[in-house]
Every structure is written in structure tokens, then in C-alpha cells.
């Protein structure tokens, strides 16, 4: 018989994390611990990752629904759609089931990556903040060997952001460093195209979510006219039916989509987006969403099985002071998995 319970864990940022939706000092995750009376001594762990202001699960009745889910684990196995409106909870159970079924050692997907034989190329993320802080991050990432940099924009003046991009391009051409930017919906639909033309001067690889989600016609027009390829991110969140997913991609016709399993409902739901995107030659990459290393490890392992050559939006969870030691390591802009690492997550069992 299956048994489930959850534990809340508040992750504390090493320094305030600036986004276009505000500054985060901490964030909550809830860990599902799943056991089976027929497999004594083994437990599966899954992370219900909540991103304030963005996760569909970020609601007052979250814990009430977590309690219900923990009381009905068999129902969740039997009905894949039962938690459709709660994508983070669904993903936590999907992760916990996978971990339980593979021995409870956080080794969910076997690949050359988990054997330490292959790395995942990743982008170096530049967080929003004052220009000096962003400049310091840029220098640190370039010195660390990243050849793809992703800069969040929309929190400081656009002129200062253009100057930071100019700083990079004055040192490194597009053949040396790939530049991505993420607006998180910061531009208005009226001003977006003009700003994209200004950004195009710096040979930008792509821009994520230039305008707020839900403006389908405006986004479709941007994807058609933009001098920079557009990637949908927040636009995908909250869309659960396969037919609705297909209609959105067919209407907007983005050049890229961003896959965030914790916000989209897990691996199966994310795979649906990927399959639909590939049918219309839309490219994609996977991005984490401020998970702890429990969730990040699972996402990285899954991503490795997809064999996508583009740099992914993954890392090691080093943003937090109270994360869990993990086998994930970054070297020269790539993510590695140390197969000899032994997890110690006794604090959440």
C-alpha cells in the first residue's frame, strides 16, 4: 500500500533575487515523501516547487490540496489528469513515483549524464539588479567559461540594459558568446517591437516572453515581425489540454518555447509541449524554476535523455544558503552529474 506525506522547506536566497515581478528573499518548496509497504526501507521524494506570483499552485488552499493528494496517492496513479489544475503538486508526485520505482536514490533516469560520461550545456544566468551587480555577474560568467549568457531585463532602465549588452558585445562577438535575454513580460505590446529592434543591434539569440502572457494576437504579430527570435515562457503556464496547447502554438508560431516542468505539470505534460513544438519546427529548451537540488536533479536527468543540443536553463541551486548537497556540478558552462556522490537528505525524510 502506498503512503504519502509532505514537508515544507523554505529556501533562503544568498542575496535578493531580482525579477520583473519583484525581488525574492526566500521561496517555499514542499517535499512529497512516498513509501510502499511492499518495498520496506525505500522512499521516493518529489518536490512541489512554488514560484511566488507565477506558479498556478501559489494559492491559499495549496496545503489543503497537498493534504488531499497525500491521502489519495493511488487515485493520482490511476488518473493522470486528477491534478491538472495543480501542476507543481502533480510534478511532485510524478517525481516521487519515479524515485520510488528506481530505488529511492534520486536516480530517476539513467543515461550517459548520470554515469558522468556526458554533460549538458547550459546558459549562465545574469540576475536583475543594479548595473554594477549585473556587470559583475557578466564578468564572472564569462571568466567561468560560459559561451551562452542569459540576461534578465525589465527591472532597470532599458538604456542601462542596452549598455550592459554593449559591454559584452564590445568584448565578444556572436561567434564567441551567444546572448539570450528574458523580459518576463516587461514590455507593453505597443512598445515591444521598437525595443526588439534596438536589442537586435547586439545579435541576440532569442528573447523570452517580451510581453505579458494572454495577448495572443499581439504575441503572434511579434513573432512574425520581430528581428529577434521569440521564445514563449509564461505563455504556456496554465494551459493543460492537448488541443489548447496545439492551438496556441499554431496561432502564435513562436521560434522557441521554454519548458519548465514544475510550472507545466511535470515530465509527461512537458513532453506534450515538446512534441507539438517539433511538429511545427519550433525549437525548445528546458529551464529550471528555482527548485531545490532535489527537483533540479530530477529535471536535469530527464533533460539529458532528450538529447537537445541547445544550452539548457539549468544550474546547481547555488542561489540558496540552505539547499541540499547534490551530484550536480558546473564546469566551463556545462552541467555534470557526479555518479559517485551519495545523497544525504535525512532532514526531509
- C-alpha 219/C-alpha 226 separation (Å) is 10
B/e letters for 84-100, b = 16+ CB within 10 Å, e = fewer, are eebbbbbbbbbbbbbbb
Catalytic residues, by residue number, are: 152, 260
Pairing outcome for strands 230-232 and 283-286: unpaired
- C-alpha 56/C-alpha 72 separation (Å) is 21
Which residue carries 549524464 as its cell? 113
- Whose CA is closest to 310, among 253, 257, 252, 261? 257
Please tell me whether residue 299 adopts helix, strand or coil conformation. Answer: helix
Nearest-10 Cα torsion for 241, 245, 248, 249: -170
- C-alpha 163/C-alpha 191 separation (Å) is 19
Amino acid at each position: 500500500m502506498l503512503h504519502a506525506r509532505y514537508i515544507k522547506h523554505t529556501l533562503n536566497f544568498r542575496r535578493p533575487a531580482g525579477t520583473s515581478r519583484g525581488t525574492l528573499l526566500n521561496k517555499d518548496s514542499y517535499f512529497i515523501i512516498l513509501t510502499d509497504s511492499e518495498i520496506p526501507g525505500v522512499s521516493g521524494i518529489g518536490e512541489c516547487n512554488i514560484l511566488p506570483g507565477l506558479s498556478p499552485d501559489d494559492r491559499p488552499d495549496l496545503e489543503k490540496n497537498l493534504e488531499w493528494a497525500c491521502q489519495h496517492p493511488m487515485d493520482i496513479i490511476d488518473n493522470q489528469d486528477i491534478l491538472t489544475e495543480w501542476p507543481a503538486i502533480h510534478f511532485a508526485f510524478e517525481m516521487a513515483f519515479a524515485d520510488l520505482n528506481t530505488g529511492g536514490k534520486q536516480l530517476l533516469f539513467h543515461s550517459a549524464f548520470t554515469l558522468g560520461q556526458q554533460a549538458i550545456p547550459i546558459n549562465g544566468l545574469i540576475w536583475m539588479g543594479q548595473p554594477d551587480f549585473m556587470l559583475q555577474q557578466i564578468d564572472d560568467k564569462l571568466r567561468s567559461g560560459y559561451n551562452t549568457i542569459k540576461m534578465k531585463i525589465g527591472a532597470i532602465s532599458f538604456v542601462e540594459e542596452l549598455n550592459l549588452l554593449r559591454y559584452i558585445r564590445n568584448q565578444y562577438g556572436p561567434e564567441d558568446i551567444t546572448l539570450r535575454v528574458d523580459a518576463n513580460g516587461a514590455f507593453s505590446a505597443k512598445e515591444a517591437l521598437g525595443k526588439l529592434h534596438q536589442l537586435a543591434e547586439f545579435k541576440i539569440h532569442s528573447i523570452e516572453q517580451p510581453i505579458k502572457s494572454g495577448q495572443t494576437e499581439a504575441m503572434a504579430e511579434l513573432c512574425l515581425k520581430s528581428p529577434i527570435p521569440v521564445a514563449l515562457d509564461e505563455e504556456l503556464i496554465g494551459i493543460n489540454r492537448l488541443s489548447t496547447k496545439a492551438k496556441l502554438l499554431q496561432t502564435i508560431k513562436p521560434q522557441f518555447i521554454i519548458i519548465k516542468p514544475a510550472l507545466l505539470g511535470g515530465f509527461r505534460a512537458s513532453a506534450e509541449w515538446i512534441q507539438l513544438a517539433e511538429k511545427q519546427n519550433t525549437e525548445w529548451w528546458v529551464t529550471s524554476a528555482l527548485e531545490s537540488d532535489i527537483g533540479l536533479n530530477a529535471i536535469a536527468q530527464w533533460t539529458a535523455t532528450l538529447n537537445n543540443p541547445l544550452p539548457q536553463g539549468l544550474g546547481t541551486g547555488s542561489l540558496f544558503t540552505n539547499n541540499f548537497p547534490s551530484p550536480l556540478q558546473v564546469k566551463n558552462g556545462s552541467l555534470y552529474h557526479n555518479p559517485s556522490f551519495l545523497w544525504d537528505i535525512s532532514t526531509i525524510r
